Structure 1
Amino acid sequence: MVAFLFAQPGEQDTTGMKKKTPDFKHWDVSTHYGPADTVEFTLTEGTWMNLDVSPDGKEIVFDLLGDIYVIPIEGGEARALTSGLAFDAQPRYSPDGSKISFTSDRGGGDNIWIMNRDGSEPRAVTNEDFRLLNNAVWTPDGQYLIARKHFTSRRSLGAGEMWMYHISGGKGLRLTKRKNDQQDAGEPWVSPDGRYLYFSEDMSGGSTFQYNKDPNKQIYVIRRLDLQTGKLTNYITGAGGAVRPQVSPDGQYLAFVRRIRNKSVLYLHKFETGEQWPIWDQLNKDQQETWAIFGVYPNYNWMPNSREIVIWAKGHIWRVNIHSREAKQIPFVVHARHAIARALRYKQPHVADDYFTARMLRHVVTSPDGQWLVFNAVGHLWKMKLPDGKPVRLTNDSQHFEFEPSFSPDGKWVVYTTWNDTALGAIYKVRLRGGKPQKLTERKGYYYSPRFSPDGLMVVYRRGQGNAILGFAYGVEPGIYWVAADGGQGNLIIEEGRDPYFNKAGDRIYFFTYEGEKKALKSCDLDGHDVRTHFTSQYATQIVVSPDEQWVAFQELFNVYITPYPHTGQPIELSSQSKAIPVKRVSRDAGNYIHWSG
């Protein structure tokens, strides 16, 4: 049951949150910025609720809509322990019951926090601003928390590792190492004697995540790490997988969730004999087929008597007897109050206006003498005399879109790519002073990143294979090519890579590609031979060597950095956090389309 009470229009939030003018350099998640309205409602059920039972068995703490509440073990009116704009979740009682750990973004990103049992004196244990954390559990001595730490690479959702943190803080210690950046691990739990760490991990094979795998075969398994010897074993495996491990207080049983056909079922594993059996099949569907960063099933826990389990399912909290398999509902009532920020509204310009200001410039390049700027805006190329000339069209072409300009070494020509839905793509060049564009490529196709050689006699480019938006016709024989600067037949250099450009001497081609799980800047000769790796990076999305080959610029997580280019004959790891060579961030908020002047 859900009852709503909305504030009257114009009523400001009154939940006690701070309200002030935004400070964009020190944004406070918990601060109330701008106009908002208050909404109040009463809940007797909830979705995907993480819960825990107090060590004395008297209370249940749970999360709901980003706030944390507590109720008596018998159920009843819920009392809020946290409230406000911050998203708080996954509460866990300390072994002595005096503290509660929880996941919160109140510091700007998901970190592990601790508060007193009554909700007072919240403080952060971790302070990550990128590798965020969740699903913390206590060690039996109450001195440490073990949480899932999140890692990303080419795909945003990433994978997890188990990290241990002292309750007083620190950078933490890694306990498990992810096997790749796409198959997840999480849901840690520590045995009552403190010796073993249990957690679930996607062990379905391969090195990439895939949606909608068959959970009735096996996706997740429960793994066990011996905290004395470091030995890691696949502890509970088999059809239907195994997730969300929870050891009973007496150490006799391990509860977990397994998929049986189309149902998620609460199971028991008996340590002494290895027997396993289902005890309750009325759970909500687990998330084994998806990317479950916060857990494949919500947190639950045992009663202190080791005979009952308290768990969320079907919108309610249940108390399940493991012997009789009887489930009793624990009722709760939550009186929730939230501030709803009003949507930003801007007066839109007339879409039919003849002129407007273009605010998105792409593929910006400067002439070798630094006197001219050429860039893409609203589908065409524009040139502008520096420092404050008026932008004018580079060509009069009305039949094609124009992209990716690049100057010839003498600054007299601009080479670029075009697109037309019928003619498809091509590479053209045109004089900077104007004139009729000259087509360089002979075949229809998908063309990218044309660049002149240092002597101006050749142009290197990438020929693509097409995609689901542009189509795949005429996408045969993709790769990096060169063509004479006056046009003609393309000559294949190498089949891999993108963003090609010549080296200083003009006898090799740099290109961006992959090396294992990492990105790499490599080069080869004009026949595609003698491939060398110059730089590798975990997160770079573009790497560009300066024309004099003394510097390198790279983009990492939407910002641009420069660093010296030491010629060592061996691959150099690029990172914004590198300590081996100086690294300087040159973008303020973000940066794209790296181009060296000169």
Structure 2
Amino acid sequence: MIKTTKSLLAVTLVSALGLSTTYSTHAADDIKKDATINEEKWDVSNPPFALNEVTINTTETTWSSLDIAPNGKYMVFDMLGDIYKVNIDGGDATPITQDFAWNIHPSISPDGSKIAFISDRDGINNLWIMDSNGENLRQVTKEKNNLIHSPKWSPDGEYLLVSKGIMSSRSIPAGEIWMYHNTGGDGLQIKARNHGKKDQQNIADPVFSHDGKHIYFTENTVPGSRFDYNRDPLGGIFAITRFDRENGDESRYISGTGGAVVPTPSPDGKYVAFVRRVKEKTALFLKDIKTGEETPLTTELERDMQEGFGSEGYFAYFDWMPDSSAIVYWTGGTFHSINIDDKTISDININVEATLQYADALRFDVDVAPDEFDVNMIRWSQMSPDGKTLLFQALGKLYVKDVKSGKMKRLTKQNDHGEYYPRFSNDGKAIVYTTWNDDELGSVRIVSARGGKGKVITKQPGHYIEPSFSSDREKVVYRKFTGGYLLDPKYSVDPGIYVADLDRKTEKKVSDGGINPHFADDNSRVYFTESVGGTPYRETQLSSVNLQGNDKRTHLYGADDVSEYKLSHDKKWVAFVYQFKTFVTPFVENGKKVTIGPNMTSLPVTQLSSKAGEYLTWSPDNETVSWFNGPTFYSRSLKEAFAFVDGAPETLPDPVADGINLSFTTDADKPSGYKALIGGKVVTMRDADNTQEVIEDGVIIIKDNRIEAVGKRGDIAIPEGAMQIDASGKTIIPGLVDTHAHGAQGRNEIIPDKNWSQYSNVAFGVTTIHDPSNDTTEIFAASELQRKGDIVAPRIYSTGTILYGAEGLGYKAIINNYEDAYFHVERLKESGAISVKSYNQPRRDQRQQVLWASKNQDMMVVPEGGGKFQQNLTMLVDGHTGLEHSLPIERGYSDVTQLWKATEFGYTPTFVVSYGGMMGEEYWYDRTEVWKNPRLLRYTPATMLHSRSIRRPTAPDNQYNHQNVASYAKELRDNGVSVHIGAHGQREGLAAHWELWIMQQGGFTAWEALRGGTIDGAKHLGMGNDIGSIEKGKLADLVVIDGDVLADLRRSEYVEFTVLNGRVYEAATMNEVGSKTKRSPFFFEENNATFMPRTTAEAIDAKVHHFHWKH
């Protein structure tokens, strides 16, 4: 048996140091912190964080794949990352592996002497072989980024088939079928992806025929390369393909209604067993190879994975008895044997005792509303040409800071509009920038570097960004984009790159596309970054046109790694951002497109930063490059970057690690005075793990932004002069905490004055959101504006941009060691993140490295579930904060429940986009007339609703999966697991209530569902000391709902008032109660029939997919 002895090793180490030998798994924590973690090879089985132990006893297992010995006397199966052996008639199971590696998919060799299996013990899922007793372990495949699953032996015992999951621009692996000799090697490709590098459609479940002449596998047959959710298996998604090993021919072997997955040939060569969907049931079928007849054996299998991703297989693998008389399979938490002749089913009862290891879940307290806060989202920082002043944007306005004295002041005095994208002129005398106001729209302006009032240089209002002077200050280049969605769509005609001649007062469009335009050399051309067409992933290049928009040339190519290029003013150098780091190299024109990157050999190249960076600028003398990340401004001179530059020191310094911190402290928004909510039913959520406190005819006293007192009317004195709100006949609950809330906070870095989607959130009672995927600079800029009180929105927390494991320019995070992980966590924390989203990093060592880097920086880690059940369990035992999205299986059983119960690993199933079947969001479109919801239409453009909700699919309840997800979530919560709402940004505010209603469909009571929408989410995010319950000292985030929500949870959407940070908003108008200032109308509000320009719709769709907001 494979078994590690970490406990013994730790005791030996502690004894050797002369310390106490009384062992606790936490005792070695400090030792591990001081240990060298940057070793050549990270060991996933022995990570640097401390591990706890839990022993479970179970007669149930979850999604267990099995294989039967050639003699038919026993079988092996997987459970919670270990492989077990049990008599074919059942009984006590014994472990073959028992370690912290995750071991699954056992397959016994034809002679019974070996077991092939999948293990991540080298850092990622690979194929391994061991003796049948667990000894003589050896590795077969050595993949570094692709995921190996589902091994099956050839009849002669020489070869093994596996599926190889390869990620493209989405982290949903597309499978290929590979064959390996049992001794290893690079393997032979049997079946490639049908659409090459861009493919997202899966191929899986490979197996040899009984005689080895054919290979069967599961193949996605839906046209196109893109994976889509909510596909219909009854119409056929998958089919079984047969591959002829002699001539290489492929043929569609089993297909049709309900699809066909997991081919499993009988040993006698007469049948192929497979899985098919029959209405709402998953069935085990037989195909008679001779006659072609397909016959169901049982329709009582657990729901298959046809509507999921299937990278770990489309059903728990089953096997034939050696005499082909019966099939043994797992379903419903237990094992069964079905006789293929009379279809009788016998239960195989087993018992497993397992000792498992797990790490503590990462969670840190968050100070939700201090009276002061540090402004960290400093954007577009730039040094003045004379080196005396730093220019930047914060809290929506432009500032200048004296480098020597540290004194800071506003550049302008106006408060009519936001100020964006500032740039110095080369002579340092002027600053160009853009503006935005929801009512007046935007402009390009120039202001004296000494400050004052900006002069408008654009001829009409519009949507303007990225302005830049020519070196002689005679021209300005800028980009115009289209409005709509969050911004008024007026003046959205003819977007592109423009050049304004300041003397002639003319504007000339020079390019339809491109971003980050700038001049160089003699100012006769405009240079810009653009996407390369016709590539599997987004790739970039630096191109240029002349001032008439002609003579287009492409100069540099950065593939899918370079996000930004900036030429020096003399056009002798180019700085670029490669995977979040800044570099510089000489720029040479040779009439061809030059590929650039840190490993280029054609020209010298130097890394400038050890920290992350963006927004590159050059000094006027072309000798220094600067950039920023979060609040820190960085710069480096060329003489410090290249030894051949005049003035270079003998030894060049390391890449820049230190910069100028531009962060500053400001007062947070905080109202003053007393308010009293009188007469409502108060659902406090105080001490919610032990009691269900409800105060009838209650009173809540608010002082400033915190709760002063809570109790019954008559027991609580109403302060003199307090604003009084009659809550009679209403229910008062804590503000809703949406722990997985996507959605745009701006467009192209412009934060609207009024974001209708956030107004809608507040109007529906959502007072805190945590967005686990968004544009880093946009969302933290919005977060600080909200905290300052400059915009109305829920409290905004986020991970910023995801740490993506697949291909994706601007959000793929390359992690090959602990230093890489630390770099990525640090860059996000510096910008304002409280957590990071580890998004389908394929290797477990990568995920552990992110965890360790986050632990060492007091950051939480909320991983993408990704529809991978086994991977989800490694996230649990490794100590992630919680799981984002649902388990992809129908439900867990006692083994999973006992393990989960032992941890503090949270669960945010996002019921509205629950994996594995029709999603909860579809249910509410099906069952309710969303497009008529008056509360939603107050703050949401009707056109955003019509296309999604009027012509909607319909299906019986048994086709929907969200109730199954909610049912198991209820079981987990009953066992102490924290379960929270996460509306995924699917429908502005309303979807948070869908989450509550779905919880009730799964068996939660109304009170329990409200607990999941309030205090459980608050605690999960480390905010339980400040929000989530109605009690003295907590922040005044409350929802006043018309009616008795405990009697009828569907009343929850009928919000009368939302109290956010002590300010009371009337949900019907979103006017602040007691304020003389009324909300100005949204751009669509008069007739709610505003349409988006096509280019905006395309841009929003790209953003939605870029940040994975749509499922």
Matched residue, 2:66: 51
Superposed CA deviations along residues 238-259 of structure 1, whole A, max 9, x for unmatched, are 2222211222223332222122
- Show the counterpart of 1:25: 38
**Helix, strand or coil: the match of 1:30?**
coil
Amino acid at match of 2:328: V
- Does structure 1 residue 206 correspond to structure 2 residue 224? yes
User: Residue 336 of structure 2: SS of its match in structure 1?
Assistant: strand
Distance 2:153 2:404 in 1: 61
- The residue identity in structure 1 corresponding to 2:451 is G
Match of 2:616? 595
Equivalent residue, structure 1, for 2:179: 164
Shift of residue 463, structure 1, vs aligned partner: 0.7
Q: Secondary structure of 1:221's match?
A: strand
Aligned to 2:201: 183
Residue 538 (structure 2) pairs with residue 519 (structure 1): yes
Residues 118, 379 of structure 1: alpha-carbon distance in 2 compared, 3 angstrom cutoff:
farther
1:115 to 130, 134, 137: 130
Superposed CA deviations along residues 543-590 of structure 1, whole A, max 9, x for unmatched, are 42533376573534x5666677776756667777x7885797848887
**TM-score computed with the length of structure 1 as normaliser:** 0.83
> Which amino acid in the other structure matches residue 125 of structure 2?
D
1:114-162, Cα deviation, whole Å (9 max, x unpaired): 3332233444333333233222333334344332223223322242222
The 1-side partners of 2:491 and 2:189 are apart by: 46
Q: Report which stretch shifted further, 436-445 or 87-96.
A: 436-445
Given the superposition, is the C-alpha separation of residues 35 and 514 from structure 1 closer, same or farther in structure 2, using an over 3 Å criterion?
Answer: same
Q: Which has more helix, going by share of residues?
A: 2
SS in 2 for 1:216: helix
Aligned to 1:132: 147
Q: Deviations over 1:164-200 (max 9, x none)?
A: 3444444444333221332222222222333333222
**Unaligned stretches of 5+ residues in structure 2:** 1-21, 623-1111
Report SS of the residue matched to 2:531: strand
Which residues in structure 2 correspond to 1:325-336 (within 5 Å)?
A: 325-336=343-354
CA-CA distance at 1:62 after TM superposition = 1.8
Partner residue of 1:272?
290
Instruction: Pick from 221, 229, 244 the counterpart of residue 247 of structure 2.
Output: 229
The AA in structure 2 aligned to 1:484 is: A
- Whichever residue aligns with residue 519 of structure 1, its letter is R
Are the counterparts in 1 of residues 582 and 614 from structure 2 also a CA contact under 8 Å? Answer: no
Q: Report if aligned partners of 1:563, 1:582 keep a CA contact under 8 Å in 2.
A: yes
Deviation at 1:285, TM superposition (A): 1.6
| Correspondence for 2:279 | 261
Q: Could you tell me whether the CA contact under 8 Å between 2:379 and 2:394 is conserved in 1?
A: yes
Rate the CA distance shift 1:208–1:494 in 2: closer, same or farther, 3 A: farther
8 Å CA contact 2:179–2:190 kept in 1: the answer is: yes
What code does the residue aligned with 1:181 have? Answer: D
Amino acid at match of 1:267: F
The alignment status of 1:544 with 2:565, answered yes or no, reads yes
Matches within 5 A, 1:42-121: 42-121=57-136
Q: In structure 1, give the amino acid aligned to 2:32.
A: K
Closer, same or farther: CA 56–211 of 1 in aligned 2, 3 Å: same
Aligned to 1:436: 453
Letter in 2 for 1:325: K
Taking the TM superposition and a 5 Å limit, the aligned residue runs for 1:477-488 are: 477=493, 479-484=495-500
On the 8 A contact 1:521/1:533 being kept in 2, the answer is no
Q: Which moved more, 1:481-490 or 1:401-410?
A: 481-490
Alignment check: 8 A CA contact 1:498 1:513 kept? no
Distance 1:264 1:101 in 2: 28
Alignment equivalent of 1:555, drawn from 562, 578, 583: 578
| 1:36-47 equivalent positions in 2, closer than 5 A | 36-47=51-62
Alignment RMSD (CA, Å): 4.0
Alignment of 1:143-542 (within 5 A): 143-178=158-193, 179=195, 180-346=198-364, 348-349=366-367, 351-356=369-374, 358=376, 361-365=378-382, 373-377=390-394, 379-383=396-400, 394-396=411-413, 398=415, 400-420=417-437, 426-441=443-458, 446-453=463-470, 456=473, 457-467=475-485, 470=486, 473-474=489-490, 476-477=492-493, 479-484=495-500, 492-502=509-519, 506-516=524-534, 517-521=536-540, 523=543, 525=545, 539-540=560-561, 542=563
Matched residue type, 2:242: R
The separation in 2 between residues aligned to 1:334 and 1:407, in whole angstroms, is 70
Alpha-carbon contact 1:42-1:333 (below 8 Å) kept: yes
| Superposition deviation, residue 368 in structure 1 | 6.2
For residue 310 of structure 2, give the secondary structure of its aligned residue in structure 1: coil
- Partners of 1:137 and 1:147 within 8 A in 2: yes
Deviation of 1:333 (Å): 1.5
Question: Relative to 1, partners in 2 of residues 1:437 and 1:311: Cα closer, same or farther, differing over 3 Å?
Answer: farther
**Cross-structure match for 2:646:** none
Matches of 1:349 and 1:17, distance apart in 2: 26
Distance 2:55 2:96 in 1: 17
CA contact (8 A) 1:462 1:499 kept: no
Conservation of the 8 A alpha-carbon contact between 2:82 and 2:102? yes
Return closer, same or farther for 1:87/1:507 CA change in 2, 3 Å cut-off. same
Say if 1:150 and 1:158, in contact at 8 Å, map to a contact too. yes
Residues 1:411 and 1:16: Cα distance change in structure 2 (over 3 Å): closer
Mark the runs of 5 or more structure 1 residues left unpaired by the alignment: 1-9
Distance 1:16 1:140 in 2: 48
* SS in structure 2 of the partner of residue 71 of structure 1: strand
C-alpha separation between the residues in 1 aligned to 2:585 and 2:287? 55
Shift of 1:220: 1.4
Q: What is the distance in 1 between the residues matched to 2:113 and 2:603?
A: 47
Identity rate, percent: 36
Q: Is this contact kept in 2: 1:97–1:117, CA < 8 A?
A: yes
Contact 2:497 2:514 in 1 (8 A): no
Deviation at 1:281, TM superposition (A): 1.0
The one-letter amino acid of 2:98's match is S
Q: Matched residue of 1:20: which SS?
A: helix
**CA–CA distance in structure 2, aligned partners of residues 240 and 340 of structure 1:** 39
Q: CA deviation at 1:212?
A: 0.6
Maintained 8 Å contact 1:68/1:80:
yes
> 1:371/1:272 Cα in 2 relative to 1: closer, same or farther (>3 Å)?
farther
CA, structure 1 residues 280+421, in 2 after alignment: closer, same or farther (shift >3 Å)? farther
How many Å separate the matches in 1 of 2:29 and 2:246? 46
- Specify the SS of the correspondent of 1:282: strand
In structure 2, the residue corresponding to 1:518 is in which secondary structure? coil
Which whole-Å CA distance do the structure 1 matches of 2:539 and 2:160 have between them? 37
Query: Structure 2: which amino acid aligns with 1:40?
Result: T
Partner amino acid for 1:66? G
Distance 1:203 1:562 in 2: 46
1:394-426, CA deviations, whole angstroms, 9 ceiling, x for partnerless residues? 555555555444444444444444555555555
Q: Which residue of 1 aligns with 2:964?
A: none
Aligned-pair distance for 1:449?
Answer: 3.5
CA distance in 2, matches of 1:312, 1:17: 39
- CA change 1:484–1:130 in 2 (3 A) is same
